[in-house]
Structure 1
């Protein structure tokens, strides 16, 4: 019997293993930026990272906090980040103003926009017309403020009868708590829980959500440059799928989700963020439509109807089709989250 030298055996084994080694590829790096400082909904992505949902799909994802949807869009358009989380209603104006750096929404998280007028119930405000004759704190350039004319028009509010108090975002909600303003405009899931964090019981806070008063807006989702999506369809598809896995995990185990969030931002109050998560589920995420059809199940007629309202609010002289700002081509077939 011929004896094969040990060195030859090792060499042969190395040759056999070489194709497998060559087949392995490094994870694809994706730079991701949020819309604001760390809050409960962002745990969908922190959980996706902690539980290996990105890694399983060949992605290495870095997540940074944001400084507002407008800032997020600007940074994604500039190439500082690959994908961002932002209010997709603002894409219409962005794309109109930046024809050479257009963005596209590839996933919509909130089926119902949390844009709202928020107030203390003791103010006596119960309907949109009650905002007339009131002081309303706003942050100029913020999405809810920019979209307010749609809400006002749909509810026959005389805007000239409202005194708008322009302040920075840090003061806006506090103005209501301190009774220096009767109401404020913002994402109710952010503002209401900011008020809770200041010691106001949630049951003492009221809101007029745009979506329940004639303005059926979709809301925040994942955005990227149109040319990035065309060049990197596998990365975008993988990121969306991992996001949906993260949402399922967040909904199923909110305490684990907030613990994941706290590892990124130790200063968050987990109890407040769990309350915020419950409110988001109630008013924006787990709508009857989403429960029946899955997340990001966008209806074209509704999307284009609300896009026309946004175009009117921003004085944009076009009636946009859905594909001007949104595509469903990167979505998986199964999008059920509950």
Structure 2
């Protein structure tokens, strides 16, 4: 015979259910929300984070991550500084200028992904451009706020270019590379890993595309990495460390299984060409990510002398009257000891 529930049985059952559910509830509640903004539209390099999300690396690290596309490094940094996002992926060379101009909302890089900057001037070889001086007298398509455009004065200064002899055509990101393919511009500025593969996707044979990578022409820059507000990092050290740890796991997974990584990316942007993105990733590995330093010592292994020398170039190009130490724009305090990714 069924018995009507008593107040005591209801309370006992509810308490027991609460005890049983508590571990899962606590685990879910413990996951801190982190809003993350990329530097650009979805591309192969971003698959380290999409794969980390899909395989549960963020959740296992105790964070719940929202990943959004970006609209240029400058735009991403502005949004992180404003508190719209907690962490951004951006060209860390721009931090010196940003921090100098925004002393009350300073950012710091906590992880450098690219050991060599893929910033470059990209062109069709038929243009006859083979060296920096050949850019004089040319039209170059650029997108305002994009990292390579903002850093171009450093490249120009290092190679003694007369900027008055170069016509910069300000266009949208969607038109920038197309301008070169259509021969409406002689060259463009961007990450060569982005632009070169965009041109391939537009039907240009890769062998017809040339570039002048900043790092090969007197500007030994580090490049893109994770940036946060300094005060956010101080208040949330566990979240920053967890995000970096999951990022490193994502990088290892991306390098071990690029096909799965691109499939993860395609779940966010159905229009990407997975074959193109795999080729893009191979180029990134070649020119920016898997340098001898990273292979030997791990990702985000930063040499202070090199960092401060390139920061001095940035300061000079932007006419910033300071020569700050590395700690002004970069810290390694949130990095794990093991940062090997291959």
| TM-score (norm: length of structure 2) | 0.92
**Which residue of 1 is the match for residue 41 of structure 2?**
37
**Which residue of 1 is the match for residue 108 of structure 2?**
104
Q: Is 2:75 the counterpart of 1:59?
A: no
SS at match of 2:267: helix
**Which residue of 1 is the match for residue 3 of structure 2?**
none
Equivalent pairs, count: 333
Pairing of 1:46-125 with structure 2 (within 5 A) = 46-125=50-129
In structure 2, do the counterparts of structure 1 residues 179 and 309 end up closer, same or farther at CA, with 3 Å as the change threshold? same
Q: Is 2:133 the counterpart of 1:146?
A: no
- Alpha-carbon distance in structure 2 between the residues aligned to 1:22 and 1:155: 59
**Which residue of 1 is the match for residue 213 of structure 2?**
209
Q: CA deviation at 1:13?
A: 7.2
Q: Deviations over 1:42-70 (max 9, x none)?
A: 00000000111011111111111111111
**Which residue of 2 is the match for residue 265 of structure 1?**
269
Which of 302, 306, 322 lines up with 2:306 in the alignment?
302
Q: CA deviation at 1:302?
A: 0.6
SS at match of 2:203: coil
Q: Is 2:173 the counterpart of 1:166?
A: no
Unmatched 5+ stretches in structure 2:
1-8
On the 8 A contact 2:51/2:261 being kept in 1, the answer is yes
Q: Is 2:131 the counterpart of 1:127?
A: yes
On the 8 A contact 1:146/1:313 being kept in 2, the answer is no
| TM-score (norm: length of structure 1) | 0.93
- Say what the alpha-carbon RMSD is for the aligned residues: 2.1
In structure 2, do the counterparts of structure 1 residues 23 and 174 end up closer, same or farther at CA, with 3 Å as the change threshold? closer
Unmatched 5+ stretches in structure 1:
1-5
Which of 189, 194, 197 lines up with 2:193 in the alignment?
189
Which of 264, 289, 295 lines up with 2:293 in the alignment?
289
- Alpha-carbon distance in structure 2 between the residues aligned to 1:15 and 1:191: 55
Q: CA deviation at 1:184?
A: 1.1
On the 8 A contact 1:304/1:322 being kept in 2, the answer is yes
Pairing of 1:212-291 with structure 2 (within 5 A) = 212-291=216-295
Q: CA deviation at 1:175?
A: 1.2
In structure 2, do the counterparts of structure 1 residues 136 and 101 end up closer, same or farther at CA, with 3 Å as the change threshold? same
Q: CA deviation at 1:162?
A: 2.1
In structure 2, do the counterparts of structure 1 residues 18 and 279 end up closer, same or farther at CA, with 3 Å as the change threshold? closer
On the 8 A contact 1:72/1:84 being kept in 2, the answer is yes
On the 8 A contact 1:114/1:284 being kept in 2, the answer is yes
- Alpha-carbon distance in structure 1 between the residues aligned to 2:27 and 2:170: 55
SS at match of 2:215: helix
In structure 2, do the counterparts of structure 1 residues 16 and 48 end up closer, same or farther at CA, with 3 Å as the change threshold? closer
